[in-house]
Amino acid sequence: MAYLRWRRFLELAALDHPWVGETFMRRGGAGPGARPAAYWDRLHSGGYDRLLNSEQRHHHRLLAALVSESVAHPRVLDIGCGEGVFHDSLRPFAPAAYLGVDLSDLAIAKARARITDPAARFTLGDGARYDAGAERFDAIVFPECIEYLGDPIALLDHYARFLAPGGVFGVTQWLGLKPLRLWRQVKAAADIVDEAVVSAPWGGAWQVWTCKPRG
Ligand SMILES: C[S@@+](CC[C@H](N)C(=O)[O-])C[C@H]1O[C@@H](n2cnc3c(N)ncnc32)[C@H](O)[C@@H]1O
């Protein structure tokens, strides 16, 4: 418990003072990085049932409200959608369209079985470079998955072409010293619209932000 409190103190301090994070970060490894589909299939075969729990979804609720405030009834592309859990929070805002993309075919099968919204579609794909063709979205979101999708700047650059005019990116990630590096990289390259920290009831927190491509 004392260790968790210490971690929390460091993570919150590192939000405003990057040197705190860089000083106390565990060495070795660059962070999560890409994992193969089989890894995600294993998690989606049972371990990820917990992501459906209400207390696991406060970051989704905030992100859904932010993107729907920016455009009512938004068209949303959800990268790394898993079993479609973000859609549960988006549904009250009646999205005009929703497309969830995930690398795990088990996740996609579970999402299709669970979600009955006629505006929702799910497809198997690599979220690091998914091609949405001619479709355009008011929001492209990466809830708890951006750290698995490679260089975040190249990622947002790739997806900018699929944003409708005025569209936003939305990201949530677990607050940690290494993820804070990713957040700073994005902040340096994109225009932040909103950002917040959402505390989890069991300790720890998520970062939630929306941003627009610069220029
Ligand atoms: C921590 S889970 C988050 C799931 C969901 N977005 C949520 O917020 O509950 C990470 C998800 O990203 C997916 N994922 C990881 N790498 C991916 C990739 N390259 N392309 C698409 N999905 C990916 C995994 O299959 C998994 O469903």
The pTM assigned to this predicted structure is 0.94
Can you say whether residue 80 is alpha, beta or left, with left for phi > 0 and alpha for psi between -120 and 50 degrees? Answer: left
Nearest CA to ligand 1 atom 10: 145
Say what the alpha-carbon torsion angle 10, 12, 15, 17 is, to the nearest 10 degrees. -50
Ligand 1 pocket test: which of 35, 39, 40 has the largest number of ligand atoms within 8 Å of its C-beta? 40
In 103-162, where do the E strands start and end? 120-124, 137-143
Query: What mean pLDDT comes out for the span 44-63?
Result: 94
Give distance in angstroms: CA of 160 to centre of ligand 1.
20
Instruction: Report the separation in Å between the CA atom of 2 and the middle of ligand 1, taken as the mean of its atom positions.
Output: 31
Pocket of ligand 1 (CB under 6 A): 40, 51, 80-82, 85-86, 101-104, 107, 126-128, 143-145, 148-149
Can you give the pLDDT at residue 1?
Answer: 67
Whose C-alpha lies nearest to ligand 1, atom 4? Answer: 82
Which residue's CA is the closest to the ligand 1 atom numbered 8? 143
Domains and CATH numbers, the chain: 2-213 (3.40.50.150)
Give the HSE-up count for residue 125: Cα atoms under 13 Å, Cβ half-sphere: 16
What's the pLDDT score for residue 76?
Answer: 98
pLDDT in tens, 147-180: 999 999 999 999 999 999 999 999 999 999 889 9
Supply the DSSP string of 164-209, one letter for each residue.
EEEEEEEEEEE--HHHHHHHHHHHHHEEEEEEEEEE-TTS-EEEEE
Q: Residue 40 C-alpha to ligand 1 middle, in angstroms?
A: 7
Mean pLDDT of 120-135: 98
Kindly report, residue by residue over 72-106, the tens digit of the pLDDT.
Answer: 999 999 999 999 999 999 999 999 999 999 999 99
CA of 147 to the centre of ligand 1 (A): 10
